[in-house]
Amino acid sequence: MNKKVIRQFREASRQYSDASVFMHEAIARKAGLSSADHKYLGLILQYESITAGEISKITGLTTGAVTGLIDRLEKKELLKRQFAKEDRRKVFIIPDLENSMKLLGPIFDELQQKTTALISTFSETEIKIIERYFKEATLIMKETADHLNNT
């Protein structure tokens, strides 16, 4: 493949990544969260319930860091702890979708509208290609994070 094309793609990808980080940093500040807490909340919201150990395993955070994260998000009423009936030592983290959407929904509404308008300018074939890139690049990033977390 043409080196110039690869270089231009990498530059566009880096700019996208940087813009994403800066945007999420601004969203977090607006919502009164740290950028890390904002992103980890987004992860937690993908589950009906999740344990602190599962969060630690997925993120590579220490159990102490996860406890601090849960404490901060619980204080803001964005999630709650629920003890397992069969073993009170086991705690499930239950995201509060309603409170999270009250906090983040208004911030994301305009972004969703703009990205939907952008996506609608692509053909289905183009969207499938872009989606394939994101899925495969995500796997590479997860593998890299796993490797770094385990060395």
Extents of the domains making up the chain: 3-120
3-120 carries CATH number 1.10.10.10: yes
Radius of gyration (C-alpha) of the chain in whole angstroms: 18
pTM to 2 decimal places: 0.81
Q: pLDDT digit of tens for each residue in the chain (151 aa)?
A: 799 999 999 999 999 999 999 999 999 999 999 999 999 999 999 999 999 999 998 888 998 999 999 999 999 999 999 988 887 778 899 999 999 999 999 999 999 999 999 999 999 999 999 999 999 999 999 999 889 888 8
Looking at residue 83, what is its pLDDT? Answer: 87
